[in-house]
Structure 1
Amino acid sequence: MNYSKIRGVIAAMVTPLDDVTGEVSFDGLSKLLNYLVEGGVHGLFPCGSTGEGLLLSKKERMQIVEFIVREVKGKIPIIVHTGSIHLDEAIHLTCHSRDIGAQGAALIPPYYYGMDEAAMENYFGTIAASAPDFPLYIYNIPGNTKNTVSVPLMLNLSSKYSNIIGLKESSMDFMNFINFQQVLPLDYTILMGNDAQIYSSVLMGGAGAISATATVFPEKVVEIYEQLQNGNQSQALQAQDTVTKLRAIWRKYPPIAPYKIALRLKGINVGLPRLPLRTLTSNEINRLISDLESLDI
């Protein structure tokens, strides 16, 4: 089964929420989509970690993806995060993304409970068999899920399910990327999930990145990839240096909030993080502004 290979910078989108009600803001989502498309990203990744996907209801996740597919109109590919601890929900979300015209789905392992490889293979395999004609990407993020996607597990999945065609590698350990790259099929799509390692992973043959920084500064992250494609390694490395510094800034604050505050400063109101996540205090906002101004971007 042949699938078009997704390459480049895929923006891990925040989910805009209404300041008052906390519900999904489709007006904010429309503005964010226009901003990202105009910023040159090569794809979109809604409802993932940056998108607070696990804090959204199944209905909200479906409505968000339906809206994005309608708005984007095929201009760039959409990979939807459809993972859930509930197997039936993951299947439903995956099939729904397929049916409305997304270009693929990404799945974290089931979380909270420790899972052995047999359990994880059954989980991913059941979903793959339920949507056999739809491209799937395994999303390795052990720091959040507790369960690690190993090289043997990926080899088993890739050999048994032709629609499991790629991997988002967010373990933060670059040796994992290297190990996957060395043994998985040459046509496999390995996307870097650590914004500090985009340059290195693309140099070593990676397909690109799913980037949280790209939801705020899309042009700067895209510059890494496109300068490398044009053979301009020094310019790409300079862009990577800026993105690495941005990543360090985000990590100084509570999750999600700094992306949303930075977008608001750029004129795109995406609301506050959903509880139990918190927004930033006024002192933290002032520090964030100072941090960003120090990079002169």
Structure 2
Amino acid sequence: MDLREELSGITCPVVTPFEADSSEIDETAFTDLLEFLLENDVDGVFPCGTTGEFASLTPEERRRVHELAVETVDGEVPVLAGAAATSVDEAVEYAEHAAEIGADAAVVTEPYFHGPNAPAGNQRFFEAVSDRSPLPILLYNIPPCTGGSIALETIAALADHENVLGLKDSSGDLEYFLSALRRTPEDFLLLQGYDALLVPALRMGADGGLNAGSNVAPAQYVDLYETVDGDRGRERQDAIEPLFDACATHGFAPATKTALEYRGVIPSDAVRPPLVSVPDDGQAAIETGVDELLESGRE
């Protein structure tokens, strides 16, 4: 499998549905969601990312979610396993388990909680994980959750590592993304993780998107990717904005789950602490955003 080619499109950072009464993982809802995404032609799935609430899952639950994803997808599209951790050993353990069950790559953030780390320390961390991982590593830049962006010099250096696949950038900084594009070789995968910048990034050379909204409207995101250079791409980007704004206001996991429940794809929008569900006065904006995005896909 040529992962760069396979992931040149729309990959979905899949939510982790919980049962409303117990907060346990709703495995049936999770597999139903994956099947919904496959039916709508997404190019990859990423369980246990930020939208998947990995930080609220136990290690055993994270492994179980990965197992369910690999079993359900059954080779139809690549599975990117979330391997974010604060130590090299823990990140490698997630990557090793993901390899054992048949996932295709592991996604790793900068170590969080330590605060802003020196670029040299982050580079050593990524190199150590990449050296030991049995799977290719996708770097994940999400500065609000890690204390800072991965230094561009670090990305440029890691791009030469034989086991580093590419970068998902959720910084919301288009200049940063374009700088990463200029500093890395053509075969370095660059995925835009900030929905509001998807069309600009694709038009400037991004390989694809890894976007929370694709849980809710996968067909519309796939169509955006396929029509990005025309007026339809711009129109679809405009249609994404209301739902993305709601996600930015209420949090990506809560708002995405509310939207999925509204669509009838999952039965509950339950989240785990410290996240809170979207309040009643915020649900109307999400429902309107969903309706507008779905309507934009009709001829």
SS in 2 for 1:107: strand
- Aligned equivalent of 1:184: 184
Q: Distance in 1 between matches of 2:66 and 2:121?
A: 28
- Aligned equivalent of 1:240: 237
Question: 4+ residue stretches of structure 1 with deviation over 6 A?
Answer: none
SS in 2 for 1:251: helix
Q: Percent identity?
A: 27
Q: Which amino acid aligns with 2:195?
A: D
- Structure 1 gap ranges (5+): none
Q: Distance in 2 between matches of 1:178 and 1:280?
A: 33
SS in 1 for 2:250: coil
- 1:281 deviation in Å? 2.7
- Aligned equivalent of 1:122: 124
SS in 2 for 1:139: strand
- Aligned equivalent of 2:74: 73
User: Normalised by the size of structure 2, how large is the TM-score?
Assistant: 0.92
Do the aligned partners of 1:10 and 1:42 also contact (CA within 8 Å) in 2?
yes
- Aligned equivalent of 1:194: 194
- 1:290 deviation in Å? 4.3
- Aligned equivalent of 1:85: 86
RMSD: 1.7
Aligned: 1:107 with 2:111:
no
Do the aligned partners of 1:25 and 1:270 also contact (CA within 8 Å) in 2?
no
Q: Distance in 2 between matches of 1:295 and 1:33?
A: 20
Give 1:252-267 correspondences, 5 Å limit. 252-267=249-264
Aligned: 1:157 with 2:158:
yes
- Aligned equivalent of 2:273: 275
Q: Which amino acid aligns with 1:30?
A: T
- Aligned equivalent of 1:24: 25
Q: Give the 3 Å change call, closer, same or farther, for CA 202–287 of structure 1 in structure 2.
A: closer
- 1:295 deviation in Å? 5.7
Do the aligned partners of 1:46 and 1:65 also contact (CA within 8 Å) in 2?
yes
- Aligned equivalent of 1:219: 219
- For these two proteins, the number of residue pairs brought into alignment is 291
- 1:162 deviation in Å? 0.4
Q: Which amino acid aligns with 1:279?
A: S
- 1:182 deviation in Å? 0.7
- 1:250 deviation in Å? 2.0
Deviations 1:102-147 (A, max 9, x none): 111111100122210121112111111112x521111111122103
- 1:255 deviation in Å? 4.4
Higher mean alpha-carbon deviation, 3-12 vs 282-291, is at: 282-291
Q: Which amino acid aligns with 2:230?
A: Q
Deviations 1:221-279 (A, max 9, x none): 11110113xxx511111111111232112223244212111111111224401111111
- Structure 2 gap ranges (5+): none
Do the aligned partners of 1:141 and 1:170 also contact (CA within 8 Å) in 2?
yes
- Aligned equivalent of 2:46: 45
Q: Distance in 1 between matches of 2:257 and 2:76?
A: 25
